[in-house]
Chains A and B, each alone.
Chain A
């Protein structure tokens, strides 16, 4: 059979295989977040939620009242774990890089990472994880019921074990994939689901600083 005769069935096979290929998470999210009617890329929250009233531990072992520690500064709150293979490192990398690009420091927008995996996420491990992105991001941990309580106050589901990590690094843990933005008064304003890109954050971060800082919070 010549190449000429082989080509049509090969192309047909490719078409069938391609058409049957599942749409992936990347396919949905690769284009970034759609621009909202008000120009933001973060999605506005329709219900009022406050910063969770819980006490956790920082990586030095000191108690941190989440509400007190974040009062007065716009805050991006994320629940994740350091062994996470995709969503957590991507969110952290994207936010850190966008803050650098938009010249927004953690003094003006605080980033808080709360571990949902108290078993594996030792303080050292959280420090090491966050140091890859920005050592000034605040890493917190606590007992699983405290973390679940914090998630519950935001109407978010608690962490669940989802099965073995394909890389052979223990279990995968299911957790909320969005970053929640709070204004300086501790009111949740918007969420950035997985799929938010640097370009989305670069546009939203200056608005967070301008509109959510103390005295400006809407």
Chain B
């Protein structure tokens, strides 16, 4: 096949519905699945169904938006699809991948005391993670950066890798539950996620309200249909970032918060039951109820 490529990029070629396989996407997806299974096998650990499903869904999300046609359309033809790819990388693939990694594998990849662990530990402290994620978000949406990098396969690949990496770092403190690995608890977690959703409004607003197309590569790309309007495409991209990205993120924030609330409720319930059990035991130990037991606290008032 003459049209095989490594990674999607803005080629300036006329769009056709002729399949273009991206070798790099297949290799990365295969490497992620194969590496995951091999890591389990080497460690002699069984594959947990729930985590395996999350990992595979994460890889599938990465694959679908990087392979033809979505990868190609997003890299070189439609800003809307380009932003949709970013949303999927950041808010679908990255959290699924992180959820799929068991604690023992994190310990194996990032053993305590190693340089890797120290770097990762610094990056995933929540203020740093927030900074990294937003720095990547803003930098990779600057018109000069997009117009310079996306026309080459290497540049486009770099942008995609940056998006996934920054999202993994950002999700880390919110999704990993190991306290010694920078896990944050509610309500800080809700604030942390919410802060990013608000910051995302800034580039989204630039896309939605700029009267001129920001990105030359989308403005000058061969149109997919006659009368294609690059400004409307850009406005739609801003709306996708704002509304769709916001809905996905807020949906996740709400789910995590409700799960936390439920856990809190359950642990409160357990604590109450434990208290009642102890009270009951104390009452039994003290003999039949009489004037010497304070009904308010359930404790004997006299020795």
On whether the two chains bind one another, the answer is yes
Q: Could you tell me which A residues sit within 8 Å of B by CB distance?
A: 1-4, 6-7, 10, 13-15, 17-19, 21, 23-27, 29-32, 85-86, 89-90, 93-94, 97, 101, 129, 132-133, 165-167, 194-195, 197-199, 202
A27's contact among B10, B32, B35, B215, by CB below 8 Å, is which? B10
C-alpha gap A25/B222 in the complex (Å): 11
Count chain B residues whose beta carbon lies closer than 8 angstroms to a beta carbon of A.
52
Most-contacted residue by chain A among B28, B76, B147, B216 (CB, 10 A): B216
For the complex with contacts A27-B10, A97-B229, A97-B230, 7 further pairs of A-B residues with Cβ separation under 8 Å are A10-B28, A13-B27, A17-B23, A30-B147, A97-B231, A166-B16, A167-B16
B39's contact among A3, A93, A198, by CB below 8 Å, is which? A3
- In contact, B6 and A26 (Cβ under 8 angstroms): no
- In the bound complex, residues from chain A placing their C-beta under 8 Å from that of B36 are 3
Closest 9 CB pairs of A and B: A18-B154, A3-B35, A26-B12, A132-B227, A17-B6, A30-B216, A27-B151, A86-B222, A30-B147
- In the bound complex, residues from chain B placing their C-beta under 8 Å from that of A167 are 14-16
B219 contacts partner chain A, Cβ-Cβ < 8 Å: yes
Contact A2 B14, CB 8 Å, known A14-B154, A18-B6, A101-B211:
no
- In the bound complex, residues from chain B placing their C-beta under 8 Å from that of A165 are 14
- In the bound complex, residues from chain B placing their C-beta under 8 Å from that of A89 are 223, 226-228
7 chain-A/chain-B pairs, Cβ below 8 angstroms: A10-B27, A14-B24, A17-B7, A17-B153, A23-B152, A29-B12, A197-B212
C-alpha gap A178/B31 in the complex (Å): 47
C-alpha gap A17/B219 in the complex (Å): 26
B109 contacts partner chain A, Cβ-Cβ < 8 Å: yes
- In contact, A27 and B12 (Cβ under 8 angstroms): yes
Question: Main secondary structure on chain A at its contact with chain B?
Answer: helix
- In the bound complex, residues from chain B placing their C-beta under 8 Å from that of A85 are 14, 222
Most-contacted residue by chain A among B15, B76, B151 (CB, 10 A): B151
- In the bound complex, residues from chain A placing their C-beta under 8 Å from that of B219 are 30, 90, 94, 197-198
- In contact, B151 and A24 (Cβ under 8 angstroms): yes
Q: Return B146 CB to nearest CB of chain A, in Å.
A: 9
C-alpha gap A25/B36 in the complex (Å): 40
B18 contacts partner chain A, Cβ-Cβ < 8 Å: yes
B35's contact among A1, A194, A197, A202, by CB below 8 Å, is which? A1
Q: Return A115 CB to nearest CB of chain B, in Å.
A: 15
Q: Return A188 CB to nearest CB of chain B, in Å.
A: 24
- In contact, A2 and B155 (Cβ under 8 angstroms): no
C-alpha gap A23/B149 in the complex (Å): 11
Q: Return A198 CB to nearest CB of chain B, in Å.
A: 5
- In the bound complex, residues from chain A placing their C-beta under 8 Å from that of B230 are 93, 97, 198
C-alpha gap A17/B213 in the complex (Å): 30
B9 contacts partner chain A, Cβ-Cβ < 8 Å: yes
Q: Return A120 CB to nearest CB of chain B, in Å.
A: 14
Most-contacted residue by chain B among A18, A19, A132 (CB, 10 A): A18
B153's contact among A21, A25, A86, by CB below 8 Å, is which? A21
Q: Return A180 CB to nearest CB of chain B, in Å.
A: 19
C-alpha gap A158/B24 in the complex (Å): 42
B157 contacts partner chain A, Cβ-Cβ < 8 Å: yes
Q: Return A24 CB to nearest CB of chain B, in Å.
A: 4
The 0/1 profile, CB within 8 Å of A marked 1, for residues 281-302 of chain B is: 0000000000000000000000
B11 contacts partner chain A, Cβ-Cβ < 8 Å: yes
